[in-house]
Structure 1
Amino acid sequence: MTVFTMSQKLRKVLIPLAIVGLLAFLGFSLTQKPQAPDITFVTLEGKTIPLSSQQGKLVLVNFWATDCPGCIAEMPGLIQTYNEYKDKGFEVIAVAMSYDGIQQVINYSHNNALPFPVSHDSSGDAAMQFNDVRVTPTSFIIDKQGRIIQKLIGELDFSALRKLLDQHLGKAG
């Protein structure tokens, strides 16, 4: 057998193996959810909340602004959903965008009695760490292991959110 025919036989085996390996890698990559950033939020009251401290909970990180009609429209539903599921292991962290005035955020949070932690992303660092969020509202749902399982741009679909919460946390009530 010549070197040339051995090389051809080797190619016939290696190329399909390489393709199978690549497909397996791609399949694995597509099913793996990315880890949430290692970030610490500072609430309007000055309390620090490392996102890593929320492991074991299902967390919704909501980027919003006081001048965003969709954000304001979804806030009552977010408050209601938080109150329904907070005792089951659900946490919400509302992150006001850097361009939103801190006093506006404080006023809105107090006037609407937001029951969950509110942070002001004054430097824009949180938005950058969450894949450069620019559109509000944008929400990230993070599982109990700290992996991002969904990114939602636009107003939340509360029926779908409750279904996801029921699936991960059990029925509320």
Structure 2
Amino acid sequence: MTTSSKPWLKPAVAAVVLAAGGFAAYTSLNSAPVAPAVTFIDIKGERITPEQLRGKVVMVNFWATSCTTCVAEMPEMVDTYNRYKGKGLEFVAVAMKYDPPNYVVNFAETRQLPFKVALDVTGEAAKAYGDVSMTPTTFVIDKDGKILKRYVGKPEFPALHKLLEKALQG
């Protein structure tokens, strides 16, 4: 049997192929990427593992002490963490590779940062998160380990809070 004896066959096959391709594109656009399985080392030398963060909503904030926007947003990051930590929010502030560790420790201590502060001395964490080079860059990760949002620059905090509230309920 040839397609000439069934003139509807080619358009039907084309429609199925297009529908399948469209569905694949739709699902790939609507499925959030999974956060990389990175183990962070905090300023006390302790490991922060993906297993410790699993099942929690997590904010990972790449920043530097030399970044004026990072320093300016930090009080709002502290307020956000304090507002949601009791509901299951975890927060890891990751200092960039070029940030001198003693500056990071001094900043964290003098400002009494209440969340985990990590050093990315090799740059591997920034690389794993998509070659982060702009600071601040903040990721919001849901309880399933999927990246809900990536903020480059200072987030709009009311919108961030709505996103966190929704993620923490889920």
Does the pair score TM above 0.5?
A: yes
Choose 133-142 or 79-88, whichever is displaced more: 79-88
Q: Which residue of 1 aligns with 2:86?
A: 87
**1:52 touches 1:146 (CA, 8 Å); kept in 2?**
no
Give me the whole-angstrom Cα distance separating, in 1, the residues matched to 2:3 and 2:36: 51
Q: Which residue of 1 aligns with 2:121?
A: 122
Deviation at 1:13, TM superposition (A): 1.6
Q: Percent identity at matched positions?
A: 40
Q: Which residue of 1 aligns with 2:17?
A: 18
Deviation at 1:8, TM superposition (A): 5.1
Query: Aligned Cα RMSD in Å?
Result: 1.4
Query: CA separation of 1:6/1:48 partners in 2, compared to 1, >3 Å: closer, same or farther?
Result: farther
Give me the whole-angstrom Cα distance separating, in 1, the residues matched to 2:29 and 2:38: 24
Counterpart residue type for residue 169 of structure 1: L
With normalisation by structure 1, the TM-score equals 0.92
Q: Which residue of 1 aligns with 2:141?
A: 142
Counterpart residue type for residue 138 of structure 1: T
Counterpart residue type for residue 35 of structure 2: A
Q: Secondary structure at the match of 1:141?
A: strand
Give me the whole-angstrom Cα distance separating, in 2, the residues matched to 1:141 and 1:57: 11
Q: Which runs of 5+ in 2 are unaligned?
A: none
Question: What are the Cα deviations for residues 60-80 of structure 1, in whole angstroms up to 9, with x where unaligned?
Answer: 000000010100000001111
Give me the whole-angstrom Cα distance separating, in 2, the residues matched to 1:106 and 1:166: 30
With normalisation by structure 2, the TM-score equals 0.94
Choose 135-144 or 149-158, whichever is displaced more: 149-158
Q: Which residue of 2 aligns with 1:34?
A: 33
Q: Secondary structure at the match of 1:115?
A: coil
Question: What are the Cα deviations for residues 143-162 of structure 1, in whole angstroms up to 9, with x where unaligned?
Answer: 01000010000012221121
Matched, 1:104 2:103: yes
Give me the whole-angstrom Cα distance separating, in 1, the residues matched to 2:129 and 2:152: 12
Question: What are the Cα deviations for residues 65-102 of structure 1, in whole angstroms up to 9, with x where unaligned?
Answer: 00101000000011111111111100110000001111
Deviation at 1:142, TM superposition (A): 0.2
Q: Which residue of 2 aligns with 1:44?
A: 43
Q: Which residue of 1 aligns with 2:154?
A: 155
Choose 151-160 or 92-101, whichever is displaced more: 151-160
Matched, 1:59 2:95: no
Q: Which runs of 5+ in 1 are unaligned?
A: none
Q: Secondary structure at the match of 2:92?
A: strand
How many residues align? The count is 169
Deviation at 1:3, TM superposition (A): 3.0
Query: CA separation of 1:100/1:7 partners in 2, compared to 1, >3 Å: closer, same or farther?
Result: farther
Q: Secondary structure at the match of 2:149?
A: strand
Counterpart residue type for residue 89 of structure 1: G
Deviation at 1:16, TM superposition (A): 0.9
